[in-house]
Structure 1
Amino acid sequence: MSNIALQEAIAAAGKPYAKVAETINAVGAENGRAMYYDAAAIAHWLSGTVPMAGTIPIIVETFTRLLGHDLTAPDLGWPHIEAVSEEPWGGDPVTWVARLGKDDMLNRRSLLTTGLYSLAALNLPTEPHIITARSGEPRRAGASDVERIRTMCGQFSTADDLFGGGHARAAVLAYLIHEVAPLLHGTTGRARPELFTAASQMTYLAAFMASDAGDAAGLAQRYYIQAIRLAEEAGDPTAKATALRGLATQAVELGHPTRAVDLAEAAASTLSGGCPARARAWMAGMCADAHAANGNTRAALNALRQAEVNLDRADSVPEAQWTGAYRRASLEHQTGTALAQLADLPAAERHLSNSVRARHGGERRSRVLIASRLAGLQVRRRCPDTAAATILELREDLPLLTSGRVKNELTRLRSAWVPARTNPAVGRADRLISSLANR
């Protein structure tokens, strides 16, 4: 029996079958699912074939984007699929964090279909955050509680920088679930805002690690959203801006630059004049990334200048602030990526090279990620031997990393230098990457 509902949805989208299939595959890739549908698959569905249950939520999200309004599986002529589809901006953020962490640890496979990355979730609420009344025995949070969380967050962040987001994630989640979340129920006292800021920072780290590990993008998105909401409850604009920036970075990397601009600008506007200049520089740099990805040269260059001005004004030690170790090496990276988006490849290569050279030993993942992007840029500039040399300098670092973002950069690099594999240096670099992929 023909699927009339699906036929009407495709007609309303105004896209050919091949384009619809391409979009479905892209949404699947965002969420960690390799999918290879084509026009023939669409034709089969129209004739009455029902896709696999695990695929239906991805198709529903695709048509939600194409049509601009929420849909369900029955709207496309298919059976209802049970899914965790609650609005991530609603409900209690503490409950959200605990549930996300438990699902992440124990049932990560289900998140591929029940925690999809959603463009609708990037629409920021217009109403002020309402503090949820929580059950739990009243207790006073003390400075010692806050110090423990911040110290552990710093330790986990150091491990993340050294070994990538795929390493020690279970330990981070266990700490978030069993140590942090319980403290937030029924808490009173002077230290309560700082406790919620610390919880926001730990949740942000869980989001960042999920994103770097290459897990379902929707999982990281939901962590980021709850980090924003916890920061709002703490009344901490810097923590809120940091989590908004995480959403913006994710949107750029997943190919949604217009949304990224909105999120980056929201992050920057969240900061008041009293916020650290280093934090304002960090947010301005993100605005530059987003505007460049969106093709707005003037706005990107203006944001880079603003980042540089604020960084020059910063009078704190970078490592002393949660807002990242944002320093000259960080600005060089963002300048390089922005200029690469704007097709100024020689200048982009210079800035990325500067950033790689300035990274200290504890920034292994950042150094390797930026060097991988630099190598890709060098191939674009028709210098595959230089790109190979860049990669071969990482031979000691690469085996120590567990990072989906690094893996994706290296996969793209290998595809880009295929015509040059007869070059001895390129061949050695290619074998190095291949040996790591097969481990």
Structure 2
Amino acid sequence: MRPSDLTHTSAHSADRPRTRTPNPALRALLEETEWTQAAFAHAITRLGAEIGIHLQYDRTSVAHWLRGSRPDPRVQHLMAEALSRRLGRRVTVAELGMRGTRGARGGGVGAGARPRGGEDGDEEGPHAGYRTCGAAALDAVLPGPGGYAHPADRLTALTSPVVPPPRADTPPPAPYTLRLLEESVRHERPREPEQPLGQARSGSHEPPSAPARVRASAPLPASAPAAPARNTCAARGTHPTAPPGPGEVASLHEHARFFALQADRYGGGHIRTSLAAYLSGLVRPLRSGEESAHHRGLLAGGARLSYLLARVYADEQRHGLAQRAFLTAAELASEAGDPEGVALARRALSSQAHQLGHPRTSLALAEAACEAAPADADPSTRAFLYAGLAVAEAAGGERTRALEALRRAEHQLARAPADLTTGPASPNGEPVGSYQSAALLYQSSQVRTALGDRTGAIRDLRSSLRSRPAGERRSRALCQAELAELLLACGRLEEACASWTGFLEECAPVRSGRALAARSRMPGLLRPYTRERCVQSLLAQTSVPPAERRFG
């Protein structure tokens, strides 16, 4: 089920008798948080926004839950995550005291979707159960506490929102879970640090080692339970397959390069279905292959593809699925003996946490990404990791450290050969982790924005646009939108309108959730200036809806 489908949850039947029992377990949890009912509702709404679902719960909704009403199981996952963040420990759905009949009819998971009288319906109806890949099975097939399936098995759950039945049933949208990241950082395999973080910051150009409090390796503990959870979603993948050869590995790499190039050019909406279908077809060979150099190459390639799928999900604001796809990419890379792949996945998780407003988690992951990088990582990858660290440091207010990390990123990129700085379009370029000067300038602008230097941020964004290839329409469109918003914040209205005009031209063929969100912000930002001629002309263009508003 797509997030956009959640707005159509039907109301409960008026003629069905209701018997409700007060929920003391939920009341006890709410009292432990010291939240008001309104604050709890607001926290759930915020979590919904993190995964692209617009919710409108208020204190009356919480009051109904306390009296025994049960919201949609998908909302119950958001409730458990909100309580986990507040209490600093894991709260499971089972602890909410809402066990009973499966599914949900009334929960009102969409905007203004509360049933008659503002109440939530009892848990029954057309969405009941999720069958073999339901809400109760989510932790068993995705990374996190209680989920110890082979990482390749998780690709079935991660691709099922796109690749339809009968291959697998659709799981509920996953909440973006801070606890997964904390455990990813906490559970570290013993290793010798290459260099203390403080020394790396002060002089060396090697990736810094994270302090003990943020050391991390694979997203799951080093040793899994003796009896791993069985993936009940996988309908295929149990039969033996021929061992992979160099041709399979080369083909996978070419596919990854193609998908990465298309994502930068036209947005993930154009490739999501084909990428997910290709990735789901890798489950059997990834899981059943014997230990060999070619199988490790297949695992490393699968990690890159899982990374790209996560990028697509994040672009569509489906951050719970994106988070789990990044974590799966890290684990596949770890299985392949590819520390660079682990580092890249952590760097992406850091950027996602920064985007969602979790600066401390973002910094811990950025440091862990630098630590995981191998000693022989190429300069382009090192620049990519240092740039992520610079953004995370700046978001935490560490000006000196942020600028030092940015200088290191610039130094490393200057050392990279030309064919490693052109990304997946290069004949030898890597699909993930290759870095361009345009991308570094973009992240330099993010650093300067976080440090309050809007003038420097505008300068860097304009330099990024000049350096970025014309074919990268999605990347150019997002850069134009950010530039316009910065110019408007500085009072430079006409320049902002010119940049927004460029944004509209660039994003015409693009299918990107971030681009769509940037477009939707324009009317509100320009509302105070509607008497200006340049604004009137721009708003006339935005009144024409884009060709594709839903990415389903």
Q: Same fold (TM over 0.5)?
A: yes
Q: Does 1:314 align with 2:416?
A: yes
Other structure's SS at 2:56 match: coil
Deviates more, 1:299-308 or 1:38-47: 38-47
The correspondence of residues 11-410 of structure 1 with structure 2, limited to 5 A, is 11-79=31-99, 82-83=135-136, 84-86=138-140, 88-89=143-144, 90-106=148-164, 110-113=170-173, 115-122=174-181, 123-124=183-184, 125-127=187-189, 129=222, 137=240, 139-178=242-281, 180-184=282-286, 185-214=288-317, 216-317=318-419, 318=421, 319=423, 320-410=429-519
Deviation at 1:269, TM superposition (A): 1.0
Q: Counterpart in 1 of 2:528?
A: 419
Structure 2 spans left out of the alignment, 5+ residues: 1-20, 103-134, 190-220, 229-236, 424-428
Structure 1 spans left out of the alignment, 5+ residues: none
- Residues 129 and 233 of structure 1 are in contact (CA less than 8 Å); yes or no, is this contact kept in structure 2? no
Other structure's SS at 1:335 match: helix
- Residues 188 and 222 of structure 2 are in contact (CA less than 8 Å); yes or no, is this contact kept in structure 1? no
- Residues 32 and 112 of structure 1 are in contact (CA less than 8 Å); yes or no, is this contact kept in structure 2? no
Q: Counterpart in 1 of 2:4?
A: none
Deviations 1:248-291 (A, max 9, x none): 11111111111111111111111123110110110010111112
Other structure's SS at 1:94 match: helix
Name the CA shift for 1:424/1:98 in 2 (closer, same or farther; >3 Å): same
Distance 1:175 1:187 in 2: 21
Code of the aligned partner of 1:212: D
Distance 2:382 2:163 in 1: 34
Deviation at 1:112, TM superposition (A): 4.1
- Residues 164 and 213 of structure 1 are in contact (CA less than 8 Å); yes or no, is this contact kept in structure 2? no
Deviates more, 1:352-361 or 1:412-421: 412-421
Deviations 1:203-225 (A, max 9, x none): 111111121133x2111111111
- Residues 140 and 188 of structure 1 are in contact (CA less than 8 Å); yes or no, is this contact kept in structure 2? no
Deviation at 1:58, TM superposition (A): 1.3
Distance 1:121 1:432 in 2: 42
Larger Rg over CA atoms: 2
Other structure's SS at 1:417 match: helix
Q: Which structure features the higher share of helix residues?
A: 1
* Number of equivalent positions: 436
Deviation at 1:362, TM superposition (A): 2.2
Distance 1:110 1:343 in 2: 44
Distance 1:428 1:129 in 2: 59
Deviation at 1:130, TM superposition (A): 5.7
